[in-house]
Amino acid sequence: EVQSVESGGGLVQPGGSLRLSCVASGFTFSSYWMSWVRQAPGKGLEWVASIKEDGSEEYYVDSVKGRFAISRDNAKNSQFLQMNSLRAEDTAVYYCVRGRSNFRFWGQGTLVTVSS
């Protein structure tokens, strides 16, 4: 069974940092692009970032470029999202998702709240 489990969310002050982690299982992690998609409270879905199978390519939505960094560790079946200079508008549930086009498998999400 394909599973992804996110962790690392929480309450952080504006300007602060958080690192999200996602551990995946049930598939050959190193064979798939991985992505992060977020959802602000009561709002729609927003793609945040994607990383290639070997980590050699990364793509971001404009609103997080220069502040967020996606990475992965294929040996640990894990991907990460380093989030710096956090803003109130980054408040959302962050989902770890397999793929970069068809988002077929999603984690349960981790809530990030940016507030003073």
Partner 1 sequence: DIQMTQSPSSLSASVGDRVTITCQASQDISNYLNWYQQKPGKAPKLLIYDASNLETGVPAVFSGGGSGTDFTFTISSLQPEDTATYYCQQFVNLPRTFGQGTKVEIK
Q: Which residues bind partner 1 (CB under 8 A)?
A: 35, 44-47, 50, 59, 61-62, 95, 100-104, 106-109
User: Whose Cβ is closer to partner 1: residue 61's or residue 69's?
Assistant: 61
Residue 87: both structure tokens together: 């803003």
User: Whose Cβ is closer to partner 1: residue 68's or residue 95's?
Assistant: 95
Taken in order 14, 82, 26, 39, the sign of the CA dihedral is: positive
CB of 44 to partner 1, least distance (A): 5
Look at the block and give the residue holding tokens 């294929």.
74
